[in-house]
Amino acid sequence: MSLSRRAWLGKVLQGLGLSALVSHRPVAARAAGNDPSSNESGPLIARVTRPYDAETPVREFTSFLTPNHRFFVRSHFGPPAPELITEANWKLRVGGLTDQPLELTLKDLAQFERVTITAVVQCSGNGRAFHRPKVPGVQWERGAVGNAQWTGVRLRDVLAKAGLRRNAKHVQFKGADRPVVSSVPLFVRSIPLEKALHPDTMLAYEMNGRPLPLLHGAPLRVITPGWMADSCIKWLTDITVQAEEAKGYYMQTAYRVPVTAIQPNSGLPGTSMVPVEAMVVKSLIVSPVNDGQVGLVPVTIQGVAWSGEASVATVELSFDEGKTWEPARFVGEDERYAWRRWQYVWKPKGPGSVAILSRATDAEGQVQPQSTPWNPSGFLWNGWDRVTVTVQA
């Protein structure tokens, strides 16, 4: 079907309330899609158009893996010029405190052991819109997160080939993306050597079994399972082993949180700020959707929950604003860095509006709080999730 015909049909069906019919596209067409300007990029909620920053509607999270074309998109400057990352032009440079600097093509990377890990990737600013007082930045609500299967090589295998010098302490990453104005600093970040050498930290060239899409970092990105996505550098071109953390705005100023709680907008003198690293325990209610309607019959409430490096131990639901909690049960796959799906069969007591709350607890005893301590950049939101539904008689 031609695009214009599809657009026309879309309008007609939308008018009839049947637009779901046209968003169901053949697999081949979907594979092509990750160009935000194309119809094929899936129904994301755009928060910023330049660069394209968009979140996934939470109702999509009923599947264990989040499809590539429905995976949230975030970057500071947008993807690099496509010619910079063609097979002919792209190379990964590994240098700094190494014995043997390397220049690797994708073919060279194929020489290392191939590994696959399913991991949640979540923006540190996911849920920023819920902080009070409000904080500036992309006003993400609940969907700047997804769970995907990442395939590539272990970062530590690549570092071992280069040979680490004794004073190596941090591993710095740089991608091929560039700010529009050269006075804006590059997105350069580093992770401590311990995380870099963790056997699960990887350089991924596939996402859910397909080559990494351009918007998600083609041809190669960092995946730091259990850590927030700002360590997951896309369009990776340079790995530099260093004695110090990366210099510059995106490491030394941005992506930091206060060590101890601070008063909102109190200024920061004397507050020590540490880099955002591990994810915090969190659950989301996927179905029923917020503002949805249910009948006066048993309703299967579904959701997802994840944490940082610890596994999720329980998910509980409350129907009385958090006074009492009922345990949900886990369903489906149980993999270390993936999210877990959960369900709860709810028997509404009568017609009217009901707020459903969820909270998760992880194996280290971290509990999802009612709300997250305010911080100047609005990071790490993990307050109880909440949907309001109307029970109809």
Ligand X SMILES: Nc1nc2c(c(=O)[nH]1)N[C@H]1C(S)=C(S)[C@@H](COP(=O)(O)O)O[C@H]1N2
> Beta strand 236-242 with 282-287: parallel, antiparallel or unpaired?
unpaired
Closest CB 74 distance from ligand X, rounded Å = 4
Binding part of the chain for ligand X, among 225-233, 285-293, 333-341, 350-358 by CB under 6 A, reads: 225-233
Residue number, 235 or 344, with CB nearest to ligand X: 235
**Across the strands, what pairs with 346?**
299
Q: Which of 52, 61, 130, 235 binds ligand X (CB under 6 A)?
A: 235
Smallest separation, CB 371 to Mo ion (Å): 20
Q: Is 215 among the residues that bind Mo ion (CB under 5 A)?
A: no
Pick between residue 73 and residue 305 the one whose CB is nearest to Mo ion. 73
What are the beta bridge partners of residue 148? 119
**Binding at 177: pick from Mo ion, ligand X, none (beta carbon under 5-8 Å per type):** ligand X
By CB under 6 A, residue 204 contacts ligand X: no
177 sits near ligand X (criterion: CB under 6 A) = yes
Smallest gap from residue 141 Cβ to Mo ion (A)? 14
Q: Which DSSP string do the residues of 194-217 spell out, in sequence order?
A: HHHTSTT-EEEEEETTEEPPGGGT
- Beta strand 299-306 pairing with 340-346: antiparallel
- Taking residues 252 to 291 in sequence order and writing x for each that binds Mo ion by CB under 5 A, - otherwise, the string is ----------------------------------------
Note whether 123 binds Mo ion by CB under 5 A. Answer: yes
Interface pick for ligand X out of 44, 58, 65, 73 (rule CB under 6 A): 73
Under the binding rule (CB under 5 A), the answer on residue 54 touching Mo ion is: no
Residue from 61, 72, 150, 346 binding ligand X (CB under 6 A): 72
User: By Cβ distance, which residue is nearest to Mo ion?
Assistant: 123
For the CB of residue 135, give the shortest distance to Mo ion in the complex, in Å: 14
**At its nearest, how many Å lie between Mo ion and the CB of residue 252?**
17
| The residue to which tokens 């949907």 are assigned | 387
Own/partner pairs for 114-117, CB < 8 Å, 24+ apart?
114/151, 114/152, 114/153, 115/151, 115/152, 115/153, 115/154, 115/202, 116/149, 116/150, 116/151, 117/149, 117/150, 117/200, 117/202, 117/223, 117/225, 117/337
Binding residue for ligand X (CB under 6 A) from 142, 216, 340, 341?
A: 216
Q: Is the dihedral of CA 123, 127, 129, 134 positive or negative?
A: negative
**DSSP string of 33-100, one letter each residue:** ---TTSGGG-S-EEEETTTTEEE--GGGGGSSSPPGGGS-B--SS-PPPGGGGSTTT--EEEEESBSS
List interacting residues with Mo ion (CB under 5 A). 74, 123
List interacting residues with ligand X (CB under 6 A). 71-76, 121, 123, 175, 177, 187, 215-216, 229-230, 232-235
